[in-house]
Amino acid sequence: MQRGSFQWMKSLNKSMILNKIRTSGSISRAQIAKETQLTPPTVGSIVKELIEQELIKESKLGVSQGGRKPTMLEVNTSGFHIIGIDVGPVDIRLIASDLAGDIRDELTITLPEKLDEEQFLHVLIHAIGDLQRRNQALRFIGIGVAMHGIVEARDGVSLFAPNLQLRNMPIKKRLEEAFSLDVRVENDAKALALGEAWFQDQVAHAA
């Protein structure tokens, strides 16, 4: 297998395992292997990496199935934070949230009545910088931007924002250059649907 293919497969398996831990709330390595159909050595190696990155942590001991009680795993929801941004027709709302969705801080910036694409990006970058400076103790790992209108999500480009009459803004590129964080840009309706699916998934497994 070529190195690129190996790295892609490892990334896919890593995402699968992290999502399994997230949706389960608490789960053992053996149960992850069983439910994902990955081999125990693969699960063990990726879990070790996720623990070293502090994305997950070991918690309580689980129920024994006849042998030693398994160590349960859970997402380290308070270890890292993200910045969520909702761009409206008259303002930009920003939040600092942990990985469980609990908001630690929020900031609203009123947009000028008329601005061009470059001015909008400048206002957005300045607002994110303000939120970061207010929360210097938090470790941020990503930025999510919800834009009204037509969005090319793969490259993070706002092709047309009708509420602002702005076009072809390379939001992902500019924000990643400014903050060295992973950035995702999505249409606001799709972002809302993804958020609802994420937290409904969590509620269903917690019930």
pLDDT digits (tens, 9 = 90+) for 50-71: 999 889 999 877 665 656 788 9
**pLDDT bracket for residue 169 (50, 70, 90):** very high
φ and ψ of 60, to 5 deg: -75, 170
Mean pLDDT of 131-144: 95
Query: The pTM is what?
Result: 0.76
When pLDDT is averaged across residues 19-42 and rounded to a whole number, the result is 91
pLDDT at 138: 94
Cα–Cα dist 109/100, whole Å:
25
When pLDDT is averaged across residues 3-27 and rounded to a whole number, the result is 83
Average pLDDT over all residues of the chain: 88
Q: Long-range contacts made by residues 120-127, C-beta under 8 angstroms, separation at least 24?
A: 120/164, 120/166, 120/169, 121/169, 121/171, 121/174, 123/92, 124/85, 124/87, 124/92, 124/171, 124/175, 125/174, 125/175, 125/178, 127/92, 127/94
Q: Do 81-197 and 3-75 fall under one CATH topology? A: no
pLDDT 10s digits, 62-118: 665 656 788 999 999 888 999 999 999 999 999 999 988 889 999 999 999 889 999
- Band (156; pLDDT cuts 50, 70, 90): very high
Has residue 140 got a pLDDT over 90? Answer: yes
- CA distances to 28, 47, 48, 76 from 17, rounded to whole Å, are 11, 8, 12, 14
pLDDT reported for residue 69: 80
- What mean pLDDT is predicted for residues 129-157? 94
- Domain 81-197: state its class: alpha beta
Residue 201 pLDDT > 60: no
CATH 1.10.940.10 fits 3-75, yes or no: no
Q: Render pLDDT for 123-132 as a digit per residue (tens, 0 to 9).
A: 999 999 999 9
Given a contact cutoff of 8 angstroms between Cβ atoms, the answer to whether 125 and 172 are in contact is: no
Cα separation, 183 vs 155, whole angstroms: 10
pLDDT of residue 15: 85
pLDDT at 84: 95
Q: Over 80: is that where the pLDDT of 189 sits? A: yes
Where in the chain are the domains?
3-75, 81-197
